Structure 1
Amino acid sequence: MTEQVPSAISASGEFDIERWPFYWLTRVTGRYLHEMEIALKALGLDIPRWRVLMSLRGDKVLSVSEIADNAIVKLPTMTRIVQRMQSDGLVHCRQSASDRRVTEVELTDAGRRAGQQAWAVADGLYTRTFGNIPADDVTRLNRTLRALNRNLDD
């Protein structure tokens, strides 16, 4: 027997926004991004740069399209972000040796330093947000969010 999907409709037949999971996903995402914007601004960074820095963390070399996919940003937008970051000295770009149409991106020393500072900010926010949540619950949340993402892909 398949379990029924919980409804956002209350017993009285009214829509109850607090029973709508997308309400909570949107609120948490909005709050997280707001807190990150404030913290990153103090470092001279913003959310788009943060996403690039974290995609390239650990000395990765990725194409602009891979970074765009990680950051959930359209390719033309990511291309402009990477170009600005190159002008700022945070990343270095080169053509791929295997496919000259592909631009590969890697962090410069300044980009690694900026990434380390940004990571410290993000890790602090993560600890503040999840510090009182049991690890099993965080694992379950990640598993559920991955499943939701796959369902939306179908």
Structure 2
Amino acid sequence: MTPPTRFVDTYLLYLMARASSVASAEFHDEVRAQGVSIPVWRVLASLKGAPDGLTVGELTRSCLANQPAISKTVDKLVAQGLVDRHADPNDRRRVWVRLTAAGEERVDGLIARAEAHQARLIAAIGPEEAEILKAALKRVIDRAP
């Protein structure tokens, strides 16, 4: 006899959150072992590949954090010389943040670890299913207001 299925066992939002939690916990241990906090990792990773940088608002959305937390993290990274920050010349209320050369170097090592972690996750489900999953998740994200 099959046991009854709990609601959460088939609830998409729970499954996405639980999978993210499990997979992130593994990688976050690696990041912290490198002496990097998770908020710092998220800011550095978000800025990688954005040569002109991102606004603090864009970082807030990308890092899944609130503006005061991102501003505090950016302050630390500026002090460490890993990012620079400047006001938008056309709108002084907007602040842009971008990686410095030192920030690029620091994040590259972390990204190599992230890619290795991702490869282990993909190996568990297969590359084809991974691409389907990524596409589906992007569609879910894109339909957000």
Task: State TM-score, norm by structure 2.
Answer: 0.85
Structure 1 unmatched runs, 5+: 1-9
Instruction: State which of 34, 40, 47 in structure 2 corresponds to 1:43.
Output: 34
**Count of residues paired in the alignment:** 143
1: CA distance, partners of 2:128 / 2:110: 26
- 2:87–2:96: 8 Å Cα contact kept in structure 1? yes
1: CA distance, partners of 2:24 / 2:62: 16
- 1:56–1:62: 8 Å Cα contact kept in structure 2? yes
Task: State TM-score, norm by structure 1.
Answer: 0.80
66 and 128 in structure 1: CA distance in 2 versus 1, 3 angstrom threshold: same
- 2:86–2:97: 8 Å Cα contact kept in structure 1? yes
What SS is found at the alignment partner of 1:102? strand
More helix by share: 2
How far the C-alpha of 1:84 sits from its partner, in A, is 1.4
Structure 2 unmatched runs, 5+: none
How far the C-alpha of 1:16 sits from its partner, in A, is 4.3
2: CA distance, partners of 1:86 / 1:126: 29
How far the C-alpha of 1:104 sits from its partner, in A, is 0.9
How far the C-alpha of 1:111 sits from its partner, in A, is 0.8
Structure with max Cα Rg? 1
